Amino acid sequence: MKDPAGNRLNLALQASNEGVWEWYVGEPDIYYSERANRFLGYEGGDAPNIITKAAECFHPDDFPEYQESLQRMLSPNGLEKLAIECRYQHQDKTWHWLRVRGVAVRDNKGNVQRIVGTIIDITERKVAETELEEERHRLYQLIENIPVNVYYKDEDSKFVLANSSTAHKMGVESYEDLLGKSDHDFFDITHANIARANELEIMESRKPQIQIIQRETWEGKEDTWAEISKMPWLDKKGNLVGTLGITSDVTDLIRTQRMLASVAEELQSRYTAVDEELKLARQIQQALLPRSLGGLTLEAYSRKVTFGCRYTPASEMAGDFYEVLPISEHAFGFLVCDVMGHGVRAALVVSMLRGLMEKEREVAIDPESYLYGINEGLVAILQRAGVTFFATAIYCVVNLKEGTLSYSCAGHPSPIVVRSGVASQLGEDGNSKNPALGLIPGSTFSAKSVSLNNMDRLFIFTDGLHEVEDTAGRQLGIKQVEYMLTENKESALEETLDHVLDKARAYSENGEFSDDVCLLAMDVISNL
């Protein structure tokens, strides 16, 4: 037996979770079902009439639309149905979204006699819709304002969605102008075919292609470069829809990279040329050093001297150098010099000093005159060049006939001598006042003379040795050099020089010298 129509209606309303209301036109009261009262916040009844008191019930922003729809229904032969969603003020003063529907029952003249409808609280749905709309708006703002091209294409590689950046790149006014078009409508055939092939591969494999750098070729436009990431576009069920792409213009970056590569290649070429010249200059500089000094032995007038040297430049072009000058059969001079700084400038000054040494060779027997002449020449050159530069030096003259060592220091450390097994630095009385070479015109250079009979070993050095620093920034110091020489008083001269260098290197922070080091030593044997 079938249910009566009324029962079927009640069951349908229960299934839809809607409440029922009924209003006779002109009546102050309105009928609400129990469920309708609950939606309105009045489970015990007495809910307000949403027809006659609509202005009090509904949100001011929603009331005009509600009122207009209601009036259109109440008009003779007006709308048959009422369907509206609006905010209703609940009994607890909170706003709830209601979906209100109604059907007009009219007389034979078309006038509304009563309205029967349903009502349901849709607050949760409306809140979710609002949040979803806001999320979509945020996403839209992001896509529209990021400085990259974002686009969706269907399985035929035709645009279905894109941001304004993509439209601007393609040369159209808005993304609507892209819809239904493909890369073949914008790029030349070569690039368009490549793009289509890539998208087919992505859709077939369902694997993305990330950060691919591609050259874009256009019809009638200059080529551009782009970093392209594309991936399969799937719906929420995992079905393939097309492809999603993100493209960044990297034309300026590629052009800059190519320019820098060209500049780097040119600089490398220039560097290679300069490096070759520096190597040649260093070879020439090294060739000018006396190669026969190590192990050199001179003997005359019952005296014998043996020489040793070590030369450790800190760079390609060093500022330290030494030179030996034969003066007579029984006398010779030797000079150790330390030019300020390193590199080409220091090497040029070294070359000038060598020339000046040759020029003053006639007075080489006299340390005072010899350094005076070199200083005058160097000062004159530097003044003409308008530069400030200097060099420290020590010049010694060994006279085997007279058995003396005469020396003069130009801002350079005095030598260390070993006597009776004890090493000590020679006094600098007078010598400490001598300026470095190249600073003051007309400078005089005092000299001292000591007997060869009172020395066993002579040690001359540049400041790169004793100024080497440890990890705490403390210098090695001349006293430590004296100690090392005393410690090795019995060792052969060559062994002693190696020992001093090794100890100094071990003392340094990184095991290397930061400055040029030049050592020159002489053993003395008298009264053979």
What digits encode the pLDDT tens for the residues 68-101?
A: 999 999 999 888 899 999 999 988 889 999 999 9
Amino acid at the residue 127? V
Domains of the chain (ranges; CATH) run 5-127 (3.30.450.20), 147-249 (3.30.450.20), 290-526 (3.60.40.10)
Q: What is the pLDDT of residue 160?
A: 92
Beta strand extents in 45-94 (DSSP E only): 81-89
Q: What is the pLDDT of residue 321?
A: 83
Amino acid at the residue 522? M
**Rounded Cα gap, residues 300 and 452, in angstroms:** 13
What number is the average pLDDT over the span 480-493? 92
Give the end-to-end CA distance of the chain in Å, rounded to a whole number: 150
Q: What is the pLDDT of residues 203-216, one digit of tens each?
A: 999 999 999 999 99
CA atoms within 13 A on the CB side of 279: 6
Whether residue 17 contacts residue 120, with contact meaning beta carbons closer than 8 Å, is answered with yes
pLDDT tier at 285, thresholds 50, 70, 90:
very low
Closest by alpha carbon to 423, among 352, 494, 488, 339? 488
Residue scoring higher pLDDT (329 or 397): 397
Between CA 141 and CA 148, with CA 147 as vertex, the angle to 5 degrees is 100
Element containing residue 525 per DSSP (H, E): strand 517-526
Q: What is the pLDDT of residues 386-399, one digit of tens each?
A: 888 899 999 999 99
Residue 331 CB-density burial (10 A; 0-12 exposed, 13-18 middle, 19+ buried): buried
The CA–CA distances, whole Å, from 406 to 32, 72, 359 equal: 129, 127, 21
SS3 call for 129: helix
Whether residue 203 contacts residue 240, with contact meaning beta carbons closer than 8 Å, is answered with yes
Residue scoring higher pLDDT (139 or 171): 171
